[in-house]
Structure 1
Amino acid sequence: MSPGPDFAIVMRQSLVFGKRFAIITSLGIGLAIFVHVAYAVLGIGLLIQSTEWLFKLIQLAGAGYLIYIGYSALQAKPDNSSANAASQSGKAKALDKRNIMTDRKAFRQGFVTNVLNPKATLFFLSLFTTLVDATTPLAVQSFYGIWMAVVTAAWFVFLSYILASNKVRGFFAQFGHWIDRILGGFLIALALFLLWSIIN
């Protein structure tokens, strides 16, 4: 729930592309939780934890993906049309945005953002190495994983509804390109912070 790459990508999807794509992105994030659960349960988490170069490689991939999304968001341009024209051509603009964002792309962005999110990797490594051991039944471990995936998806779907509401989107409509740029900058800042932590 704390602000991070997942939070930023859902916020951007909600404000720029609307509720539908934000929810699809949220479902991608929720499904990605199973990737973390799988490597934690199968013991790959211990391998990653003990093999420093492998974990750093995952961190670098995550930072690279955040920079890619952030750079794309920084390219957002202001809408120069008048308020009346914007009102009359609202449907056309929605169609244009749908051409830019697709269900598959929205899902992929959520999924990849979470899979490459070092915060999620660290969380699951610490959780499964402290709360789960060799004697923990597989059914219990599976329940933990399913519960976390469902709760994560539910939180971001709820966030999508809040941020994509007409009241919120209406407030941010005239500043949409700045919101996109700010969120893009935030994602790049997260990536740079991650790179700094890898170097040090």
Structure 2
Amino acid sequence: MYWAEFLTVAFIHLLAVASPGPDFAVVVRESVTHGRRAGTWTALGVGSAIFLHVTYSLLGIGLIVSQSIVLFNALKWLAAAYLLYIGFKALRARPVDPAAAETLAAPVARTARGAYVAGFVTNGLNPKATLFFLSLFTVVINPHTPLLIQAGYGVYLACATAAWFCLVALLFSQQRVRAGFARMGHWFDRVMGVVLVGLGIKLAFTELR
């Protein structure tokens, strides 16, 4: 009975999650710099944050945030500040000794907790995600759809997001791919830094509509 609605939700989510954004940039950087394990934990952090968005959307808190300029701006500036922080940190990457290129191809130590938190915070503080899920649960999903069914949609969205970014982590943590990025060394970090800073600035100027 709810298959048509579910497929609509799944399709819209696919388009959204496949669009490069802060989540993609963070997962790629963690995967290239720290390896598959860190990239996977970052992906799981992103996926877990979806439960946060789904929960407040079901409770109606998302509607309050979307209607409050103060709350929206607070969330926006927190997210922008975080992206700018990790972006500027990446921009400070320095060249390394060419003789150490092979060593760079090996994963740099990164705790599972640190990688997970990076993914969770990046997605959880993103006000665009707030507006996306609010729109999804108020416009696309029929308000008469049972709460249990809507919660099921939420579980799917979280799992699908985690699975997508785990795939991204798997791709960018391949030894051949990482070796290629290792040869670029600091330039990769600087490019990712520019991307993250750009996303942070763009986010900072996001207006509540």
TM-score where L is the length of structure 2: 0.85
1:174 maps to 2:183: yes
1:108 maps to 2:125: no
1:69 maps to 2:86: yes
Q: Shift of residue 199 of structure 1?
A: 9.6
Which one-letter code corresponds to 1:8 in the other structure?
A
Q: 2 CA distance for matches of 1:77 and 1:163?
A: 21
Query: Which residue matches 2:3?
Result: none
Query: Which residue matches 1:126?
Result: 135
Aligned length: 192
Deviation string 1:49-88 (CA, Å, 9 cap, x unpaired) is 2212211211111111111111111121222141xx544x
Q: 2 CA distance for matches of 1:90 and 1:120?
A: 34
Task: Name the structure, 1 or 2, with higher relative contact order (CA <8 Å, separation 6+).
Answer: 1
Preserved contact between residue 73 and residue 184 of structure 1 (Cα < 8 Å): yes
Q: Which runs of 4 or more aligned residues in structure 1 lie more than 3 Å from their structure 2 counterparts after TM superposition?
A: none
Identity %: 46
Which one-letter code corresponds to 2:156 in the other structure?
W
Query: Which residue matches 2:10?
Result: none
Residue among 151, 160, 170 paired with 1:161 = 170
**Structure 1: 5+ residue runs without aligned partners?**
none
Q: Shift of residue 118 of structure 1?
A: 2.3
Q: 2 CA distance for matches of 1:29 and 1:136?
A: 26
Query: Which residue matches 1:145?
Result: 154
Preserved contact between residue 22 and residue 199 of structure 2 (Cα < 8 Å): yes
1:37 maps to 2:46: no
Q: 2 CA distance for matches of 1:139 and 1:121?
A: 21
Residue among 30, 40, 49 paired with 1:13 = 30
Q: Shift of residue 44 of structure 1?
A: 0.3
Q: 1 CA distance for matches of 2:155 and 2:144?
A: 19
Q: Shift of residue 136 of structure 1?
A: 2.0
Q: Shift of residue 120 of structure 1?
A: 1.3
Query: Which residue matches 1:3?
Result: 20
1:54 maps to 2:63: no
Which one-letter code corresponds to 1:182 in the other structure?
V
Q: 2 CA distance for matches of 1:149 and 1:187?
A: 23
User: Bigger shift: 144-153 or 118-127?
Assistant: 118-127
**Structure 2: 5+ residue runs without aligned partners?**
1-17
What are the residue-to-residue correspondences of 1:72-91 with 2, within 5 Å? 72-82=89-99, 86-87=101-102, 89=103
Which one-letter code corresponds to 2:38 in the other structure?
F
Task: Give the aligned CA root-mean-square deviation in angstroms.
Answer: 1.9
